[in-house]
Chain A
Amino acid sequence: MDILSQLFAGLSLGSVLLLAALGLALTFGQMGVINMAHGEFMMAGAYTAFVVQGVVSGAGVSLLVALPLGFVVGGLLGLLLEATLIHRMYARPLDTLLVTWGVALVLQQVARDVFGAPNVDVSAPTWLSGAVEIGGLALPRTRLFILGLAVACVVALTLLLRATPLGRRIRAVVQNRDLAESSGISSRTTDRITFFLGSGLAGIAGVALTLLGSVGPTLGTSYIVDAFLVVVAGGIGQIKGTVVAALSLGMMQAFFEYSTTASVAKVLVFVAVVAFLQVRPQGLVSARTRSLA
């Protein structure tokens, strides 16, 4: 029974990591761009939920309104970032990391100045309070909801990439940018759309996180390092790798934490990722590319 509840804890943590990392994997895979402001897009999503809660009175529906709105807010922020800064820097992927870090700092301070330094509370709708009892095992509804949301996002993204013309274009650009360009795909437009999608996913993740923790200016920073580890361990170019990596990291964290302490668990997870990269330097799954880099 303890094992079962820990399994669920790991699965749940994995789904949180997956939500945080999914958009990151998309933008990183597409353009090799490390977006350090991804965590702040999550924060923006979370504050969106806070604002929506103030406008839409019924807590029952405000979450459902906040999810698409969070997607749009995160996405627009990402689009703005891409259009103003990142598109200048595709030749220098490492430098984007620092530039977006600067953006992250500014966004955090903006949140602090607009919403105040203290954390704010987003109350969960009543239909998500409490737990579902299955065979003596209590599964918190909020965690089930996040699990479902993560699955929905993965399914939606997979369908989009597999079954739509846009998805074909994105995949083509990921696999070989030059060839895609010469076959008439505008990589410029594709990049923008990808960035919008990836950042929008961050917004959704942010809304979901309000169910678990506090909403504050530094919300994103607590997830960003873990999310990056997921992306690195999962490899770029395919969602499959991200999913497996997120769930494995979540499971590892949960079980290490159960048998040792939360601090030691974090360190062990890091060691495991480094060791894993020794075996597979390109991550779990990596798209075959013809580039040398």
Chain B
Amino acid sequence: MSQIQTWTLIFIGASFGVYLYIAWRSRVKETAGFYVAGQGIPTVANGAAVAADWMSAASFISMAGLIAFLGSDGTIYLMGWTGGYVLLALLIAPYLRKWGKFTVPEFVGDRYSETVRTVAAVAAIVISFTYVVGQMRGGGIVFSRFLGLDVTGGVIVAAVIIGLYAVLGGMKGITWTQVAQYTVLIVAYLIPAVAVAQQMTGIPVPQVSFGQILDELNTISVQMGLNQYTEAFAARPQIDVFLVTMSLMIGTAGLPHVIVRFYTTKSVRGARYSAFWALFFIALLYTTAPAVGAFTKLNLLQGVNGVSADALPSWVNNWAATGLVTVGDGVTTINSVSNSPTSGADLIVNNDILVLASPEIAGLPAPIVGLVAAGGMAAAMSTAAGLLLVISSSFSHDLYFRRIKRDSTDKQRLLAGRIAMGLAVLVSIYAGINPPAFVAQVVAFAFGLAAASFFPVIVLGIFWKRCNATGAAAGMITGMLFTASYMIYTLQVFGTEANPHILDISPEGIGTIGAIVNFVVTIVVSKMTAPPPAEISEMVENIRYPSERRAVPAGNVTDAA
């Protein structure tokens, strides 16, 4: 066993021990504790839990690598995945917390109708499930590289541990475990980033110092057959960068596993501050990622530029075993690098390895490599757990309780939820081992659908009293059908042909148009049909104010003018 493997085992083993201990300590039996942690989570801790929940294997493992190869257009992930929190904080979180129950489909059901609730519950399950599969796969990759297991073994180990504590602990256990996971993942991300920044620029603040290497990176990128790093719209047309960013933002604000997090705070005020802390914690990683991308890419390019194929640095050989780094056939010296297997470049590097390999590429010691592996696992596990909870609550609450057995007891519902979670784990083990050929597209699918389904009906539900059930159902269904059709048209899924993009709009960006379609249809149909009943207006009115009004000192408030 190599030194790297030993350290990886130590870090992953120790961190798992902590997570399981926390999950066991805070195991719960009542429904409220299971789904919304008894609504008693302190704001800062809740923020850290949202951050861990949100930052998945994609954020931790893939994003910096994607940015390294997209250059300036990596902004779609950076702004897209953070800007959504502004929408969430201002438009959604405080109001849903005031209304506060267990699930997102539940809000939609109470605000509109049972039909809309069922549509929403199915959408929530589909969106969350596609995500879980990606997390299982991410966990599997980490294990296969560092522990010498095959991907199948890695996926099974990850799934068993995630399933165990998700089923036992519910939201309360998950919340505190996620706080621990956030700590592990951010430390694991920042330590190597700070070390690399110090090594390359002498300034240990990656966010500030990566500006110094951009010129050099531009020059060497062009030499190696790539685009200038800081040039905008080299990877995607401007309109598409705009639409994809917007789609990721409103998708973020519409994702059920993120929204449900704001039900766990103590108060409406707590929900607002939770959103702040969440984005603050997320921003620590998201402002570091572009620096990691730039440093690692420069290191990588300098390390291999003009080097002969049999004298490549050791990280190339370590990763070659996983098939994620390949040297072209018959290449003797490396003169070009790409992330695309079809580019014909001398060295092909998969996006997904950059973060995990970054300490190796920079020549940092083995314990740091192990720490990064533990961070990647923390990111994958925390997100998977949050998603499993959404699947479980949507199933038990919005389908089983509402549609199948109305007189079910608390205990039966909890059991139904746990069974749904267990089934989801089993199916995701299968799908993680045999991933559908289009894992990357599936993520776009989930975001586009969240953007085109949940976001408009939730926002209109809060801000427009006149919005009714017919409108919302029509809007959600047309929004989703429109978005899904375009994706199926442009992507190779389920054996369909991939057609060229219309007006430069990629399938990742179509969610924005889908959301607009949803908004327009909802408004038009609502206007054409009868307004919602008075109780609904009253409910909407009530979620707009954090609490009942108490006596206020005279002169403090202007009375109705």
Pairing of A with B: no
Chain B residues with a Cβ under 8 A of chain A: none
